[in-house]
Amino acid sequence: VGTFFGSNIAYQDGTAIYMFGTGGRKSIISDCWFESNHGEGGSAMWAECYHNDSLLITGCHFLQNYAKSNGTLCINSLQSTKISITECEFRENFAYYGGGIYLNSNDTLSEVTNCLFKNNLSGSVFDDYYTHGSAAYLTALSNSHMKLTNCSMIENEHLNPGAAVKT
């Protein structure tokens, strides 16, 4: 709660926070700032959620983070998990997939509500087929439900043809 994570560098995933679910855990990340972190994937945070885990991220700011692969905030979830991201700001972040958020879900309820995505960038000058989602890259596999509600997508850019949100 209320923690600042700034200018961290990692040569693997999860520069500021790396979480690995163990089943049934409830995690809350609240009112934190993630600024100028650099890493492989999840330059601000990488989370693996499994077996009835729940993850709530609320009131957080993600500013000028750089991920070489998946999202400033990268979440992989499966097996009856619940993911909720509310009232967060994603501004001026870069990632190959999903400049702001990369969310990969299977048998998961995922909700992104009242968030601002502004001036995020995704893509690669080398690969225009697989890179998408300057603000968010969202995948919902079997038995997953994903809601994007009351979010603002402003001036996000993709280096190749693409959109603010890739689903």
Q: Give CA–CA dist 127/102, Å, rounded.
A: 18
Residue in 85, 90, 137 with CA at minimum distance from that of residue 109: 85
More confident residue, 112 or 51: 112
Residue-wise pLDDT for 114-162, tens only, equals 999 999 998 865 555 555 678 888 888 878 888 999 999 999 888 765 5
Residue-wise pLDDT for 3-40, tens only, equals 999 999 999 899 999 998 878 899 999 999 999 999 99
SS3 of residue 167 by DSSP: coil
Tell me phi and psi for residue 106, to 5 degrees: -145, 120
Residue in 76, 82, 77, 74 with CA at minimum distance from that of residue 99: 74
